[in-house]
Structure 1
Amino acid sequence: MEYLSRLLQLGAMMPAFWFHPMCKSLKIINLCFADDLVIFCKANCGSVQIIKQVFDDFCNSSGMKANLRKSQVFFGGISTQDKAQLQQVLHLEEGSFPLKYLGIPMRPTKWNEADCGEILKKIKLRLHTWSSRHLSYAGKVQLISSVLLGLRNYWMNIFLLPQSIIKEVDKLCMWFLWGNNGSWSNFHLTSWSNVCLPKSFGGLGFGEGTKWNKAMLGKYIWAISHQREALWVKWIHSVYLKGQTFWHYQLKADTSWYWKKICQLRSIFTQEDIDKASSQGKFKIGLLYASLIHQAPVKYHQFVWSRMSVPKHKFITWQAINSKLLTRDHLLRVFMLLESTLCPVCELVDESHSHLFFDYIFSQQVVRHIQDWVSCNWLLCFSVWTGWIEDMRRGVRASLVAAIFSATVYYLWHNRNNCFIHHYSLSVKAVIDMIKKDIMYRLSFSHKKLRGFELSF
C-alpha cells in the first residue's frame, strides 16, 4: 500500500489531475482501512484516467489484481451523462448509499431509523438465544453490560442514534433484566433511570442512552479542541475551522449534517467539562458522563461492589441497601393483592427490610454468629447499618468484610424465598454454613494476602 500511495502522489502532480474539493487542502488521495482502499479525486475524465493508469501500473508491478465484483465507484454532484462517461473509463459498478463498512451503514445524509435497525435485530437475536436459560440477576447484568450495551456503544461511538432506537434498546434491556415475555412483566421497584446511573451514584452503571451517546461523541470535541495528531482532526481544522477555535466557530449553512451534530454538543458541554474529562492525556467518557448527572454520589458503592464479593451477592445487597427487594410491604404499596402481609419465615410480623435483616430472631442469630466469626460488628438497625457501610474504609480487610456481609444478606433473602416458595425454612446452622462455604471458596481463588485475618469453620 505504501508503494501504491507513492504512485498516486506522483500521479497527483500531473496537470490533468484534480483533487476532490474536500481533500484539496491536505492533498488527500487515498485512505486505507484494514484490507479496504478508498481513492478520492475530482469527477472529471483527466483525474479518473490518471487514477486508472496508476492503478494498472501498480497491478502490473506487484502482480496483484483488483476484484471488480467487490469494487464500486460513488459519484456526487454530477450529471447522468458525466457518470456514464466516467464509468466507461473505470468499468466499475456504481455503488449506492448507505454503504456498509464494518457493520455500520454510511451515508452522506442524515441517519434515519431504518439505518439503525441492525442494532435491534442483533440484540433481539441474542435475547432469543438467552431466553431458554435460567440466569441470575447478576448474570443478566453482565450480559447486558458486555454484550447488549456493547452492541449499542459500538454504534454510539460513531453517530448520535435516533431517540426511537435508544428507547427501544433501553426497553429490551429492561425487559431482559427484570423479566418480560410480551404479555406480562415482573415487578421492578428500581426505575430504569436509576439503574443506568454509574455505580458511584447508586446504579448498575449501564449508562442512560441519550446522555451516554453524547458523552461518547465528546471525545471528538476533545480531540479537535486539543488538536490531536490525527488525519481527521487536521481535516476538520483545514476544511471547517481554518484557524478558529472549536468553541468560537460559527456554523455555516453548507456544512455536513454530522459536523452540525458535533457542533451542537457545545450547548451541552462547556470547554471546562471537556477539559476535566481527560486524565493523563487520555479522554475518559465516564468523567464526561458524570458531569451530566445532577445528583450527589452515594458512599456505599465501594462496600456493595467490592471485587471480593460474589456477583449475585452484590446485586441482592444493592437492592437491600436501597430497600428495593420485593418484600410484602412493598408489594402492598404497588396495590398487589396479597393473602397475607406477614413475614413468610416467622409468620408473626409484617414483612419489611428492617424485620427481615435486623429485627427477626432468625436473622439476629445468623448475624451474631457471623460477627463472632469475623470479629466485626453489624449493627442491628437499618439506618445505623447503612451509616456503618458508608463509613467503612478501603483496604483488604474492608473488602473481605463486605464480601462476608453481602453473603449474609444474600442467604437471609435466599431463606426467605425458600419459605415463600417451598414453605419451609432452613436452620440457622445451614444458613451459616452456606455463608462460610461461599466465602472460603471465594478466598481460595483470591490472590490477595490477608495478613492478620484468620477465618476457619
Structure 2
Amino acid sequence: MGDFNDILAKDKRIGQRVKTHPNTEFLQCVNECQVEDVKASGSFYTWSNKQYGDDRIYSKIDRIMANQSWINTYEFAEAVFLNEGIFDHTPGLLTLYPNVISGKKPFKYFKMWKTHPSYESDLKEIWRQSGNGSKMFQTSVTRAKIDLDSIQNQLQKSPLDSNLHMLEKEARGKMIKVQGDYNSFLKQKSKVDWIQQGDCNSALFHACIRQRLRQNRILSIERLDGRRVHEPEMITEAFLEYYKGLLGTKLKQRRKVDVGISARGPILSNEQSTDLMKDFTREEVKKAAFSIPGNKSPGPDGFSSSFFQDNWELIGEDISDAVIAFLESGNILKEINSTIITLVPKCKCPNSVKDFRPIACCNVIYKIATKLLSSRISNILPEIISHSQGGSIKGRFIGHNIMICQDLVRHYHRKANKPSCMIKLDLQKAYDTVEWEFLEEVLTGLHFPNDVLLFSHGDFKSVLYMLQTLKLFSLTFGLHPNAFKTAIYCSNMQEECVNKIRQLSGFMRHDLPFTYLGVPICAKKISRKESETLAYWSQIIIMPKRVLKSIEAICRAFLWKGQAVFYGSGAVAWDNVCESKATGGLGITKLESWNKGAMSKYIWAIANNQESLWLRWVNSVYIKGQSWWSYSASVHSNWYWKRLVALKNQILSLHDSAEFQRHKYVIKAGYKMFNTPKPNTHWSKEVWSRMNTPKHSIILWLVMLNRLKTKERLIKMGIMVQEKCSLYEEQAENIQHLFFSCRETGHCLKEIKEWLGWNARASNVQQLVKWIGRAKISKFKRAVYCVATAAMVYCAWKLRNSVIWQGAKIDANRLVEEVKWNVKARVQFLFPKKLSSVDKECDSIKINVDAALFERNRSYGFGLVARDSNGLLLEGCTTLVYGVVEPVLAEVLGIKEALSWVKEAKWQNVILESDCLCAVQAIRSSLDMISTFGLIVKDCKNLLASLINVSISFVKRSANLVAHSFGKAAILFPDRRFSLEHVLTDLLPCLVAEVYG
C-alpha cells in the first residue's frame, strides 16, 4: 500500500494537462506480481495538484493492493480513501472486518435440480417449499461417490469380473453426470455468460463468485449527515432513511397536466387500438417466457425463467392462464407484484448512500406480463413517439441524434457566429424522485429519456423561457435535473448574460468537446485525442486516419513481436496481411475500409429516402431537393457531412448508383466494395488446412510469400552475413535451397515420404504444395500431407535458427523424428481414431502433471504420470512440499519437476501436458518476467531447450484427471514412485478408466 506515483490506465487521471497514456512499466509490474486492488470506497482519485481552473489535475496513484491468497484470507477487508483536506494525497484506511453474518439466504431455483431422479414427481412440493438448492445436489454427489467407491473396492478383489466392469461404467457415468450438475450450479451462481464450451472451468466460476460477493458487500457507508457507519444494522438503517426520504415525499404544489396536451399529439387509429386490445394467447405467453434469459436474478419467489422454460410442458398451461387472467382483469396477487431491491454501485468507488442504484428484481410471472405489454406497444411506439427520441424505439438509430447534434454545434467555435446556447440535461432517474400521480396522468401519452439536449438562441430571454419550461416540467413530473451532471454550453454570449443564467439554473458552464451517448461532440474536426475510446464511433463518424493507423500499428506490433509497440517493418506489408487467406493474407480486417463500409449505410439511406429525423434534417439543411448523387457539399458544411459527401463520391467511382441503392445494404458487402479484389493463390488451402498446427502454417505462409528472413534476404536488406547455408555450407541459403534442396532437409523430406507412403516426385516446398492441391487422394490423406509439409518447414527453420543462435549440432535423424512426432501428435489430437493410418507404433511418451494445494497442512504437492502410446503406466510420482504458494506458482513448479524427471530418465519424444493454461503460455512465450513466477518459468525454458524432442501443451481438466489424482494422493503418500505392478489400489481405478474409457 502507498503512493505508487503512477496510474494503471488513462481514466485514472483527469484534467486538461495530462499525459494521454500511462507508463507501461507499472502495469507490467502489477501483472507479474499478480496483485489487484482491495475492495475500496470513498474518493476514487487519491491525489490532486491543488491548482485552479484548467490547471487542476486529479489522479489515482495511491493504492492498497494484495494478491489473491491475501484477498481470500481477508475477504471482508475494505480500503476507504478519505478526503484529502489541506494535503494533496487522500489518506487510505484499511479495515479488516470480522465475518459478517448476512442472515438467512432466500430460496433460489438452480437448473441442476431438473436432473434429480424425483424432480418431476416432487415439482409441486418444491414449488410450495423454500430450501437450499445445493443440499439436494450434495446428496446426489455423496450417493454417486459411495456407489462408485463400493464398486471399485470390489474390482480390487476381482479385477477380471466383467459384471463389475459394467457396474463401474454405470457408476462412473452417474458420477460424471452429477459433476456436470455441480458445474451448472457454479456457472449459474457466477453469472459467466460468455463461456459456451471448454472444460468444467470450476476454478474460474469460483473466482467469479468470490469477486461478485466481494464487490456486492457493503462493509461501511457514509450517511446523509456525513457520518460513516460500519455495523450491519446501522448500514441498513442508513439506506432505509435515504430511500424513505427520497421516495416517500410528495410535491406540495404539483402542477396538474393539461389533458389537451396528449390530444394535440399523435393519436392511435381505430385499427391500432383494436390491435392493442386483442386477447393474448398461450403461444404469446410462451414466447414471452422463453425470451427472458435464464441466468437473470430471480424475484422474491426465487424462481428464474429457466425454471419455467425447463418445465413448460408441466406448468405452462397454468402459467399462461394466470398471466392472461391478470391482463384481462387487472387483478394480481400481492406476492407476484412484490420485488427484491438490489443495490448496484453507480461509480467505481461508492462511498455514500447516494452512490448506489436500486434495481428491482421482479417475479418471472410479472416479467412475462410486462413483456407481453411491451411487445404490443413496441409496434405502435414509432407512430406516437416524437422523432426527436432516437433510442429505445424500434427502427430508429441513436446515432442519427448524435449527427444532428454535431451539426448544431458546428459554429460554436466561430466568433462571428450569432449567440447560441445548449443545455446538456441529465434528469435524475425515475427511482430517484418521481411523482406517482403524474405517471397515472400521462402513462399513455408521454415518453421521457434520461439524457436530453436542449438548444436555443443565445439571448437571455430565449434561455430564460427554456429554463421556465424545464421548471414547469419538474413541478409536474417530479423529475429534477441533476445539478452535478447538467452543463451549459455557450457560444458568443456576453459574460454577464452567462453568469445570470448560471445563477438562475444552478448549472455549471462547460466547454466543448463533451461526450454524448459515448461519442465526442465537438465544433471542429474530431482530433486524435477525442477518438481514443472508440466504442461504436466507427459506425457513426468517419474516423481520423491517424487514429486508425495507430490501432493498426498496435495490431502489427502484436502480430510480429507480441508487444503493443514495435518500430520497424514486419515480414509482410500490413496491406497484404489484411488480405483474405485465399488471396495470400491473414484475413485481418482493414479498419479504414470497414469504417467506410459502416458509414456507407447512411449514404444508402439518403438515396432510398429512409424515414428518420436525421434524414429530414440533412434534406432540409443541406440537400434541399437536389439530386443526392450529384450533390456537392458547401464549404460551410459540417466536417462530418463533408466527409460523408466525399465518401458518396468515392462510392460513385466504384459502383453504379442504381445498383448500389437497389439491394438492402449490408456492411459486409460495403467492406468488400472498398477493397480491390485480388486473385486467389493456388496454395492457401494447403497452408491454412484446418489440421495444420497454426504456428507451422504461419512459417509456411512466409515461405510461400518468400518473406522468410533467410541469409539471401538479409543480404538484400543490407545486413552483412555469411551467405552459406548453416546446415550445409556448400551452397547459399535461400528459400529454394533450405526447403528442400539442402542435404539435411532433403534427407528429412525423403524419410517422411517413405514413412507416409507419399508417392510424389516433388523436391521443394512449392512443388509439394502444388502436388497436394492437384492430387486425387482422400481428404484425410490430403490433410496429413499438409500437416507433414508444414511441420517439415517449421522444424527445418527451427533447426537452422538453433544452429545459428545456440550452436546446436546438426542431426538429420533427430529432425526426421521431430517431424514425425509433430505429425502424429496433431493427428492424435484431432483424429485419435485415425492415428493408426499414420503410424500404429508410436514411440512417444506422454507425461501429465498437476499440482494440489493442502491449505490445512500448509503444503502443496505434485502428481506426475508417464505413460506409453497405449496409455499404460510407465511410472508415476508424487511429491509433497511444505509451504504456502499461489496455485499458478505450484503448477509451474510441478512442470519444472516434470522436466527434471524427463532429463533424469533421459526420455525423448515426450509430450508434457498440464491443465494450467497460464503456466503453459508463459513457458511458450518469448517474454521474460521479473518475478518468482518468471524465474521458475525461465528455468523451465532452459530445461526444455536441453531436452530432445520434448514439448509442452495445455489440456483440459478432464484430460488430466490421472495426474490430478496422483497430485491429491501426495498428502497421503508423499515422495513415492510407482510402476504399473506396484501402483496404489486407490489410484488404479483412474488409470483403468482412462485406458478403457
| Alpha-carbon distance in structure 2 between the residues aligned to 1:280 and 1:454 | 50
Q: Which deviates more, 310-319 or 217-226?
A: 217-226
CA apart distance, 1:174? 4.2
2:747 to 365, 374, 380: 365
Give the TM-score, by structure 2 length: 0.35
Quick one: which of 652, 666, 680 aligns to 1:283? 666
**Worse-matched range after superposition: 27-36 or 250-259:** 27-36
Match among 287, 301, 310 for residue 684 of structure 2: 301
Contact 2:699-2:793 within 8 A present in 1 as well: yes
**1:65-118 deviation digits (Å, cap 9, x = unpaired):** 5432122233457655654555455432233211135664321321234434x3
2:715 corresponds to which of 323, 332, 352: 332
Deviations 1:168-219 (CA, angstroms, capped at 9, x unpaired): 5545554554459999967744333433433333233445555454344334
User: What is the rounded CA distance, in whole Å, between the counterparts of 1:11 and 1:90 in structure 2?
Assistant: 28
Amino acid at match of 1:309: N
Distance 1:200 1:453, change over 3 A: farther
Distance 1:95 1:325, change over 3 A: same
Higher relative CO (Cα under 8 Å, sequence separation at least 6) belongs to 1
Matches within 5 A, 1:349-388: 349-376=731-758, 379-385=762-768, 387-388=770-771
Task: Indicate how the Cα distance of structure 1 residues 434 and 181 shifts in structure 2: closer, same or farther if over 3 A, else same.
Answer: closer
Aligned to 1:364, what secondary structure does the other structure show?
A: helix
Alpha-carbon deviation of 1:353?
0.9
> Which amino acid is the alignment partner of residue 39 of structure 1?
L
Q: Counterparts of 1:399-438 in structure 2 under 5 Å?
A: 399-425=783-809, 427-438=811-822
| Amino acid in structure 1 at the alignment position of 2:681 | V
- In the TM superposition, residue 427 of structure 1 has moved relative to its aligned partner by 3.9
Q: Which amino acid aligns with 1:319?
A: L
* 1:37 matched to 2:471: no
The one-letter amino acid paired with 1:351 is E
Q: Distance in 2 between matches of 1:380 and 1:279?
A: 53
8 Å contact 1:74–1:94 — kept in the other structure? yes
What do you get for the CA RMSD once the two structures are aligned?
4.5
CA positional deviation for 1:414 = 1.1
Q: For the structure 1 residues 320 and 31, does the alpha-carbon distance in structure 2 shift closer, same or farther, using more than 3 Å as the test?
A: same
- Equivalent of residue 482 in structure 2, options 60, 67, 71: 67
**Amino acid of the residue matched to residue 59 of structure 1?**
G
Distance (whole Å) between structure 1 residues aligned to residue 832 and residue 611 of structure 2: 44
Aligned partner of 2:646 in structure 1 is: 264
Q: Answer whether contact 1:273 1:291 (CA < 8 A) is retained.
A: no
Give the deviation of 1:323 after TM superposition.
1.1
Q: 1:13 to 1:78 in 2, by over 3 A?
A: farther
SS at match of 1:269: helix
Greater shift, 170-179 or 311-320, is seen at 170-179
Aligned to 1:92: 507
Q: Is residue 194 of structure 1 aligned with residue 576 of structure 2?
A: yes
Q: 1:440 to 1:383 in 2, by over 3 A?
A: closer
Q: Identify the residue that residue 146 of structure 1 maps to in structure 2.
A: none
CA 59–193 in structure 1, closer or farther in 2 if over 3 Å, else same: same
1:403–1:180 distance in 2 versus 1, CA, 3 Å: closer
Shift of 1:380: 1.4
Tell whether the 8 Å contact from 1:321 to 1:386 is kept in structure 2 after alignment. no
Contact preservation (8 Å) 1:366, 1:432: yes
Q: Secondary structure at the match of 1:350?
A: coil
Structure 1: distance between partners of 2:636 and 2:570: 48
> Which amino acid in the other structure matches residue 91 of structure 1?
G
1:265 positional shift = 1.0
CA distance in 2, matches of 1:273, 1:454: 54
Structure 2 residue ranges without an equivalent (≥5): 1-256, 266-384, 393-397, 399-428, 430-449, 843-997
Match 1:54 to one of 473, 478, 491: 473
Residue 994 of structure 2 corresponds to none
Equivalence for 2:526: 111
Distance 1:438 1:451, change over 3 A: closer
Contact 1:157-1:213 at 8 Å conserved across structures:
yes
**Residue of 343, 348, 362 corresponding to 2:730:** 348
**Structure ID, larger Rg:** 2
Higher helix share: 1
Conserved 8 A contact 1:222-1:283: no
- The match for 2:544 among 154, 162, 165 is 162
Distance 1:355 1:402 in 2: 20
Instruction: Using the aligned pairs only, state the percent identity.
Output: 24
The code of the aligned residue for 2:465 comes to G
Cα distance in 2, alignment partners of residues 394 and 38 from structure 1: 67
Structure 1 runs not aligned, ≥5 long: 1-5, 15-25, 120-150
Matching residue's letter, 1:51: L
Greater share of strand = 2
Aligned residue among 692, 695, 698 for 1:312: 695
Secondary structure at the aligned position of 2:837 is classed as coil
